[in-house]
Amino acid sequence: MRATFIVNEIGIGLRRNLTMTVAMIVTTAVSLGFLGTAVLFNQQVSVMKDFWYDKVEVSIFLCGPDPAEGTAGSCAGGEVTQDQRDSISADLQKLPEVDKVYYESKQQAFIHFKEQFKNSAIVDNVTPDQMPESYRVKLSDPQEFPIIASAFAGRPGVDEVQDQKALLEKFFKVLNWVQWFATGLALLMILVSVTLIVNTIRVAAFSRRRETGIMKLVGASNFSIQLPFLLEGAISGLLGAVLASGSFVLIKSVLVDKLLAPNFPIARFIGWDAVWLSSGIVVVAGVALAALASFFALFKYLRV
Amino acid sequence: MIRLQNVSKIYPNQTRPALNDVSVEIGKGEFVFLVGQSGSGKSTFLRLVLKEERATSGEVHVAGKDLARLSSWKVPALRRQVGTVFQDFRLLPNKTVSENVAFALEVIGRPRQQILKVVPEVLDLVGLKGKERRRPDELSGGEQQRVAIARAFVNRPMILIADEPTGNLDPLTSVGIMRLLDRINRTGTTVVMATHDDDIVDQMRRRVIELESGRLVRDQSRGVYGYSH
């Protein structure tokens, strides 16, 4: 069949069921929007993981003058001595898993503390002497924490070995749940829109049963009978995907660049490459799903 | 051109066969009336020839092809060689006369140049010159049937099947349609026409095949509608 003829037929088909077509495009857009947002979210989480895991350290807090309750075991000997400090430092340097070691004195800890809580009254009640001194250990692989923990926990002069990654992991666990929820919602919405596409195409096939009946009669091939319907589905899918992609551009340019990024300088956010990736995914998914749904809808209707 | 050999057709969930052991051969260029009461199996006969239905037993050959062995993707090619006309015309109401005829060529992928050339020719042949731009609802029943015949014939099929083509038309208009089918037959096209119209059958004096309860009860060259008339 000639292209202009097919385009005409598709135009007639889409216009005939305008409200259904609009509903089909909008639900496709919304469900693909969910799908793409889930992809963007996923990308954001992995950007944050890369960014923060790169910065996490293991803190080895040393015993202070008056040890906290419950940790008295290793700090029974009172405040850490210079010998203990030196041996801990030397052992840390020897470990192959250790990338870098920083020493944070009480004074430095106090400065950091004041910075972190500068708007809080708590600062006024704290003296440098109350702050714990610590070794900040940067591991070449953040997964190696247990080695450090077993080597230094309970050692004389060491109060506590703390893994910052454990704190982050709680946070990422929550994000993981949000991610699963978003993906589940996206799949549910896709199911809804596929059902709607199947129905719309069926109605279209039914309302054009005269045409298709004549096409069969005069010997049009199955393919050329189904093609206009498949393309109708695919075009709606494409339009839905384009609308959804538009929403990703908005998310990136308004939500991320204008609202989040200036207010959370400590975090890093997705770049445009993530937007293009999700747009690509939803365009392919949208067209393929719509065409498949149309094919499925026609399977029964338009047999020879 | 059309050959049925011991053909029976039993529809699902029915015990009485719609066609019962029918054997008949229709040669190239013949004009055949298929007569019989409603439910005698005329429509089933035509549906088998178009491969809209499959014979339960026996062989159906159309245009040299054994339809039982014809794979479904080759069915469109078969139907391009068999033109079909119905009692209810089956025109597209939102297309003009020309577009209705052109539609049949568009959907089988004929080039634009050819369509522009043959559509006016065939409309001239069926006597609709000057009415190309009308829509079906602006035409009389006879004119609508002429459009349908033009559409069935525009592809120059070897066989033209007409299922009660005059069923909705008055006697005078029917005569015009029969003249047209006769003219098409004279171009070498085999015409098979199922009908109830005894006047037409009696006037035309062509081969008559009569079905009764699915059985072939009469096959007569230069026949009449029935002995009772």
Query: Does B107 contact A220 at a Cβ distance shorter than 8 Å?
Result: yes
pLDDT at A70 over 60: no
Determine which of A110-124, A185-199, A257-271, B141-155 has the lowest per-residue pLDDT on average.
Answer: A110-124
pLDDT at A7 over 90: no
d(CA A284, CA A274): 15
pLDDT at A205 over 90: no
pLDDT at B49 over 90: yes
In Å, how far is A239's CA from the nearest CA of chain B? 27
Chain B residues 150-189 with a CB less than 8 Å from chain A: 151-152, 155
Top residue of B90, B107, B153 to mutate, by most chain A CBs within 10 Å, is B107
Query: Does A219 contact B79 at a Cβ distance shorter than 8 Å?
Result: yes
pLDDT at A246 over 50: yes
Walk across the sheet containing B19-26 and list its strands. Answer: B19-26, B2-9, B57-62, B65-66
B20 to chain A, any CB pair closer than 8 A? The answer is: no
Q: What is the pLDDT of residue B29?
A: 94
Q: Can you state the angle between helices A145-152 and A82-94, rounded to 10 degrees?
A: 150
d(CA B149, CA B97): 12
How many other C-beta atoms are found inside a 10 Å radius of the C-beta of residue B71?
6
Contacts of B107 in chain A (CB under 8 A): 1, 214-215, 218, 220, 224-225
Query: Does B151 contact A218 at a Cβ distance shorter than 8 Å?
Result: yes
Give me the mean pLDDT over the B54-73 stretch. Answer: 92
Element (H, E) at A157: none
Determine which of A32-36, A77-81, A252-256, B74-78 has the lowest per-residue pLDDT on average.
Answer: A77-81
Interface of A with B (CB under 8 A): 1-2, 5, 210-211, 213-222, 224-225, 304
Among A10, A39, A7, A55, which Cα is nearest to A187's?
A: A39
Top residue of A217, A222, A224 to mutate, by most chain B CBs within 10 Å, is A217
pLDDT at A304 over 70: no
Q: Residue B132 in contact with residue B98, Cβ under 8 Å? A: yes
d(CA B145, CA B128): 11
Backbone angles phi, psi at A202, to 5 degrees: -65, -45
In Å, how far is A196's CA from the nearest CA of chain B? 27
**Between residues B161 and A179, the one the model is more confident about:** B161
What's the burial of A209, exposed, middle or buried (CB within 10 Å: 0-12/13-18/19+)? exposed
Give me the mean pLDDT over the B51-77 stretch. Answer: 92
Give me the mean pLDDT over the A13-17 stretch. Answer: 76
B77 to chain A, any CB pair closer than 8 A? The answer is: yes
Q: Which residue of A has its CA nearest to B50?
A: A217
Q: Residue A144 in contact with residue A53, Cβ under 8 Å? A: no
pLDDT at A295 over 60: yes
Q: What is the pLDDT of residue A73?
A: 66
> Would residue B66 be called left, alpha or beta, if left means φ above 0 and alpha means ψ between -120 and 50 degrees?
beta
Q: What is the per-residue DSSP string for chain B?
A: -EEEEEEEE--TT-SS-SEEEEEEEE-TT-EEEEE--TTSSHHHHHHHHTTSS--SEEEEEETTEEGGG--GGGHHHHHTTEEEEETT----TTS-HHHHHHHHHHTTT--HHHHHHHHHHHHHHTT-TT-TT--GGGS-HHHHHHHHHHHHHTT--SEEEEESTTTTS-HHHHHHHHHHHHHHHHTT-EEEEE---HHHHHHH--EEEEEETTEEEEEETT--S-TT-
Chain segment A254-281, per-residue pLDDT in tens: 988 888 888 887 778 888 999 999 999 9
d(CA A165, CA A144): 11
Query: Does A2 contact B106 at a Cβ distance shorter than 8 Å?
Result: yes
Q: How far is CA A250 from the centre of its chain?
A: 17
Q: Residue B62 in contact with residue B1, Cβ under 8 Å? A: yes
Question: 3-class DSSP state for residue A258?
Answer: helix
Give me the mean pLDDT over the B120-149 stretch. Answer: 95
Q: What is the pLDDT of residue A68?
A: 57
Chain B residues 184-223 with a CB less than 8 Å from chain A: none
Burial code (b: 16+ CB inside 10 Å, e: under 16) for A218-252 equals bbbbbebbbbbbbbbbbbbbbbbbbbbbebbeebb
Backbone angles phi, psi at B58, to 5 degrees: 90, 175
* Interface size between A and B, measured as CB pairs under 8 A: 61
Q: CB within 8 A of B214, min separation 6: which ones?
A: B8, B9, B16, B17, B18, B19, B20, B22, B40, B41, B44
Chain segment B179-217, per-residue pLDDT in tens: 999 999 999 999 999 998 888 999 989 999 999 999 999
Contacts of B73 in chain A (CB under 8 A): 221-222
Chain segment A79-89, per-residue pLDDT in tens: 888 888 888 88
Name the one residue in this structure whose structure tokens are 């939102």. Answer: B94
Walk across the sheet containing B215-220 and list its strands. Answer: B82-86, B159-163, B190-194, B31-35, B207-212, B215-220
Query: Does A220 contact B90 at a Cβ distance shorter than 8 Å?
Result: no
Backbone angles phi, psi at B5, to 5 degrees: -125, 110
Query: Does A221 contact B103 at a Cβ distance shorter than 8 Å?
Result: no
Structure tokens at B7: 């053909």
Q: What is the pLDDT of residue B56?
A: 94
Amino acid at residue number B162: A
Q: What is the pLDDT of residue B137?
A: 95
Query: Does A221 contact B73 at a Cβ distance shorter than 8 Å?
Result: yes
Among A223, A71, A54, A252, which Cα is nearest to B72's?
A: A223
Question: 3-class DSSP state for residue A134?
Answer: strand
Percent of chain A clearing pLDDT 70 (strictly above): 95
d(CA B229, CA A35): 74
pTM for this predicted structure: 0.71
Report how far apart, in Å, the C-alpha atoms of A288 and of each of A1, A40, A274, B217 are: 23, 20, 21, 56
Amino acid at residue number B7: V
**Between residues A304 and A145, the one the model is more confident about:** A145
Amino acid at residue number B112: R
Contacts of A225 in chain B (CB under 8 A): 107
Chain segment A145-176, per-residue pLDDT in tens: 888 888 888 888 888 888 888 888 888 888 88
Pick from A1, A215, A219: CB nearest B77: A219
B71 to chain A, any CB pair closer than 8 A? The answer is: no
Task: Answer positive or negative: Cα dihedral of A22, A28, A32, A34.
Answer: positive
Query: Does A211 contact B92 at a Cβ distance shorter than 8 Å?
Result: yes
B109 to chain A, any CB pair closer than 8 A? The answer is: yes
Amino acid at residue number B140: S
Q: Residue A43 in contact with residue A251, Cβ under 8 Å? A: no
Report how far apart, in Å, the C-alpha atoms of B23 and of each of A55, B19, B58, B59, B226 are: 89, 10, 9, 9, 20
